[in-house]
Amino acid sequence: MLMGPFEESIVKQSRLQKRPVAIPADEAERNRLLAEMAEQSTDMISRHTPEEWRFIYVSPAVTHLLGYSVEEIIGMSAYELYHPDDVEDFKRRSPSVSYDQGLYTHTYRFRCKDGHYTWLESTSRSIRDPDTDELLEILVVSRDVSQRINAEQASRRLARVLEYSSDLVAFVTPDHRVTQLNEAARETLGLELSAHQPLSLARLFTPESYALLQQQALPVANEAGRWRGEAEMYSHGQQCTIPVMLEVLAHRSLDDRLEYFSTVARDMTVVKEAEAKKRQYQFEIDHAARLITMGEMATGLAHEINQPLTAVVNYVRGIQRRMEKDCNAPMVQIAEPLERIGSTALRAGEIVHRMMDFTRKTDPRWEMLELPPLVDELIRFCVSNANRHHVRLRNRLPADLPKVWGDRIQLEQILLNLILNGIEACDQKEDQGVPEVWLEASMKKPDQVIISVLDQGAGLPVEDPEQLFGAFFTTKADGLGMGLAISRTLIERHGGQLRAANRPEGGAVFSFNLSTR
């Protein structure tokens, strides 16, 4: 009979122990089968001497697992191949195998032929002489568990990262029971998990955000795998709400059953506060800019208000004279001048109102706006200024222009800046005729309107128009150089862009786009 190394070694061992080799036929057959199984197994089966754990036998799987041939490893001691860090542990444990008839499993690193270490999981048992109880050898079955160990190490690392992450992490069952909270979540929310009292997901959030989770976040995560959005959590320690950017992930089993959700929340308190501060600063800057614009217009407006006041005084004097001549003058004679006094005073009042409106501190109000009448009003407002500079203003916006989405005060602020700049640019031009500043509009896409303010002035003072939008860029003796920079920010807040260019016919054009929905 041809014997494999396993059978051979059994026979050799028997000879070694001076035991008869007489194996009953059925037992011989069993041994042959066992030997064949050992030879074919992908697990490495090995037998070792009890003291030094020298290999007496090893199955061919050794080549696949460790890179050694069977012949190379026979006679080697397992101690030579243990990772230095695992030797002590193994020495400590080996008596329990040798002396307590132990059958035990342990995981350790073993050196491969090429020098690298691989993780093996081995089950060892001691083989004893049934008569004398003498320890004969150790039988070991080993398998490569590197992949499992690496995966376990990776998940342990990941679990550590999650535990100490500054994001608030929670694991939640499909019936909304919280099973785990990381350190940041426990501390920020002032909650602890206890074995006796289940913690409901509802306790982590404000009622509105919990409703959002129930109605949207969890169903969407269940369907699509994840959901992301803003929410508010509740700190039981600080008794305050915490704005968060929330990510909800659904975890499924291999048979596609929903096992649990995890929620990862990023505390946005600082970001939100910074945003609010930025909004406040912007609000103050916008307001200051409007005050500056009004300052620039003051002379013109004073003239504008003075005119109706002088007219009112003249009408009143006229009535006085008439009454002095004839104190019984019929009402019809003074009705018309009185009417004029009323309407003229109203006009002056309108200008004052307009100024107050423009300089008032108000929060933006977003609405659909009709531009042509808004531009008409602005032109009326700027007329005295234009007159002083001998410039004519024109509204060439088509009357049927679709409404645009914006804040009225901000749009007026932008247009006023551009119109006043246009007027001043015309002033610098020593030309014949009355130069014009006018507004045009055209459709870009179905939902975009382009508004342009054009002038017949001197043109842009720089080659690269972008320079004009830098803060404090000015070519005017008393200019601040903030008008265009602020106008650009305001337009960007409307989702548009502001650009400048020279017109081929002379003069400049400033254009921006606004949305019609």
Residues at the site binding ligand ADP, with contacts judged by CB under 6 A: 417, 421-422, 425, 455, 457, 460-461, 468, 473-476, 479-485, 508
- Cα dihedral 81, 85, 87, 93, rounded to 10, equals -130
Smallest gap from Cβ 500 to ligand ADP, in A, equals 7
Which position has the token pair 């265009």? 484
Q: Which is nearer to ligand ADP, 111 or 287 (CB)?
A: 287
Smallest gap from Cβ 232 to ligand ADP, in A, equals 41
Q: Which is nearer to ligand ADP, 435 or 483 (CB)?
A: 483
Token representation of residue 141: 């079955």
Smallest gap from Cβ 433 to ligand ADP, in A, equals 18
Q: Which is nearer to ligand ADP, 350 or 427 (CB)?
A: 427
Helices 5-16 & 25-40 angle (0-180, nearest 10): 130
Smallest gap from Cβ 293 to ligand ADP, in A, equals 9
Q: Which is nearer to ligand ADP, 233 or 508 (CB)?
A: 508
Residue 239 and residue 190 in contact, taking contact as beta carbons nearer than 8 Å: no
Q: What is the number of alpha carbons within 13 Å of residue 353 lying toward its C-beta?
A: 7
Smallest gap from Cβ 298 to ligand ADP, in A, equals 15
Q: Which is nearer to ligand ADP, 184 or 425 (CB)?
A: 425
Token representation of residue 502: 């020279």
Report the candidate in 372, 439, 365, 444 with the shortest Cα–Cα distance to residue 403. 372
Smallest gap from Cβ 221 to ligand ADP, in A, equals 49
Q: Which is nearer to ligand ADP, 441 or 484 (CB)?
A: 484
Smallest gap from Cβ 351 to ligand ADP, in A, equals 22
What is the spatial distance between Cα 356 and Cα 385, in angstroms, rounded to a whole number? 18
The number of beta carbons lying within 10 Å of the beta carbon of residue 329 is 13
What is the spatial distance between Cα 135 and Cα 127, in angstroms, rounded to a whole number? 6
Q: Which is nearer to ligand ADP, 400 or 430 (CB)?
A: 430
Residue 385 and residue 297 in contact, taking contact as beta carbons nearer than 8 Å: yes
Residue 512 and residue 450 in contact, taking contact as beta carbons nearer than 8 Å: yes
Which position has the token pair 């020098």? 115
